[in-house]
A and B are shown apart, each in its own frame.
Chain A
Amino acid sequence: MALAIRAEGLVKHYGETKALDGVDLEVPEGRVVGVLGPNGAGKTTAVRVLATLLRPDAGHATVHGHDVVKDPRAVRSLIGLTGQYASVDEDLSGTENLVLLARLLDHSRAGARARAAELLERFELTDAAGRAAKTYSGGMRRRLDLAASLVGNPSVLYLDEPTTGLDPHARNEVWAVVRKLVANGVTVLLTTQYLEEADQLADSITVFDHGRVVAEGRPDELKRRVGGQTLQVRPTSLRDLDVVQRILGDLTGVRPTRDDDTGLLTAPVNDPVLLSTLVRKLDDAGITADELALRLPSLDEVFLALTGKQTEGSPA
């Protein structure tokens, strides 16, 4: 399959900080590749290099065969950029924002108006078309951001943390939009801090840490390595911590992570049925719990599983 994006050995240093430390990345045409990693992993730096906003110190990258450094203009005519750092003008209305971008892409006055109206309609923003973007809700803002990045009909779309800071409802809206775009054949490079988001949208996931690629694979492959879900127990009494740790360990076959301060025990599980088994065993042992939950692995746990180390800033 032809590659839409190919990056080899990308390096970008800021003083001592290695934002990118030799990154290779391949995105096949028409696919969605998710770049997953914590803050400071180099995700945004990679997107900025691939969007011609930043020159790499070493390595090279091409978008549909055009070098991002040598031929930025050709790359810019192919890409759309949405996210944390590429934003709409808050003082302008939805229509004005899109008309401006269409005019910059050499649409005629009438053509620009038509294109703006069409995109606003498509993103269900017609009712808010005349209002300043700063009055939009978080979800509407992101949809306008997306619309703005699509004015030029890009064949490659960069979505840099498109749902960070959104509530679940708005997040779902953005996801629906992205799915529609992909159905129309657009290639998407998506960065995210959430495994669930990458799981929902991406055909394959690349995990970044400290400017390096630490894991790659299809979402289900990665999840299998992580353990699909996490079982969390907090016994009412800290005295029961040892007993519960043993029960949980026997059940999951993994040594649970233990936090002596909060009394929280966590262990990765693949089989959700284990939750009811755990409830029964705790009951048998006469132990009550303040908190008992089955949840998706956090990014910290994905990292722990994939890299064997904690993400920076999380408790060791």
Chain B
Amino acid sequence: MSTIALDRGVRHGFSLAWRGILKIRKNPEQLMDVTLAPIIFLVMFTYLFGGALAGSTDSYLQMLVPGIMVMNILQASMTAGVQLNTDVSKGVFDRFRSMPIARSAPLVGAVLADVVRYVVCIVVLLVVATIMGFRVQTGPVELLVAAGLTIAFGLCFCWASVFVGMLLKTPQAVQGMMFVLIMPLTFGSNVFVGTDTMPGWLKAWADISPVSLLSDALRGLLNGGAIAGPLTGSLVWMVAAVAVFFPLATWAYRKRV
């Protein structure tokens, strides 16, 4: 591909990302799923179970917020598939495809627009958490690294969502499927409770799950503590997710559109 073609491809990707951002602005309820739900979890778990689980709500909050960030980003990344499926079902893609633009531009656009969604989610969550008493124990650099890592995690796992989105027929089916996948993934982890009291098979999974590892890495970054181990684990998962789901997603995308 010549540089001119590449340049045009990127520009088309940005134009389509602009469309995605316009859509977020017009349908803020799209963001409700990924902003309100985590806040409800945050409030509920902190005040209901925090005292029992961690001795005090304050210490529980410090442990919970990084975990909820992961859960949040995972849910936000899953809307990519629903969105793409809607576009294909409604015929919007046919118009794009009948135009002389790169075939991957709509995909690139959808993923770029997702970054905006991720940023909004993380900011809203951290603001609410701060109001509730959460404090970053380290510094601004660590906070930025944590946020960047979370966004990168979302970008890696959104390919799973794109894959499912291109495989299933309707947006509703995609939504349902993603819910079924995400729920056990988030709860079967150390986001809400330590893994020590879990049965052996669950603990074995929860200790190495990408959600647990990234949660631990974020805890290290935001609260202080071990970073290297869980960070390495998270990065391995992220690379693995891209290695598996990016080819599958682009294959399904090319087959579908």
Contacts of B23 in A (CB 8 A): 89, 91-92
CB pair A101–B95 under 8 Å, yes or no, is yes
Interface residue tally for chain B (C-beta within 8 Å) = 23
Contacts of B8 in A (CB 8 A): 106
B16 part of interface (Cβ distance < 8 Å): yes
Q: Which of B90, B98, B105 contacts A90 (CB 8 A)?
A: B90
Interface of B is mostly: helix
CB pair B97–A53 under 8 Å, yes or no, is yes
A140 part of interface (Cβ distance < 8 Å): no
Q: Which of B39-77 contact A (CB under 8 A)?
A: none
Q: Which of A98-128 contact B (CB under 8 A)?
A: 100-101, 103-106
Q: Which of A47-100 contact B (CB under 8 A)?
A: 48, 51-53, 73, 76-77, 79-81, 84-92, 96, 100
Q: What is the chain B residue whose CB lies nearest that of A78?
A: B100
CB pair B12–A89 under 8 Å, yes or no, is no
**How long is the Cα–Cα vector from A96 to B96 in the complex, in angstroms?**
15
B196 part of interface (Cβ distance < 8 Å): no
Interface residue tally for chain A (C-beta within 8 Å) = 30
Q: A91-B26, A103-B15 are in contact. Are A152 and B91 (CB under 8 A)?
A: no
CB pair A81–B96 under 8 Å, yes or no, is no
B246 part of interface (Cβ distance < 8 Å): no
Contacts of B105 in A (CB 8 A): 104
Contacts of B239 in A (CB 8 A): none
**How long is the Cα–Cα vector from A101 to B16 in the complex, in angstroms?**
9
**How long is the Cα–Cα vector from A103 to B8 in the complex, in angstroms?**
11
A148 part of interface (Cβ distance < 8 Å): yes
- What's the nearest-Cβ distance from chain B to residue A71, in Å? 11
Contacts of A81 in B (CB 8 A): 94-95, 98
Q: A87-B90, A92-B23 are in contact. Are A104 and B98 (CB under 8 A)?
A: no
B19 part of interface (Cβ distance < 8 Å): yes
Contacts of A152 in B (CB 8 A): 99
Give the 4 A-B CB pairs with smallest separation, nearest first: A87-B91, A76-B100, A86-B94, A81-B98
Interfacial residues, chain A to chain B (CB-CB below 8 A): 48, 51-53, 73, 76-77, 79-81, 84-92, 96, 100-101, 103-106, 132, 148-149, 152
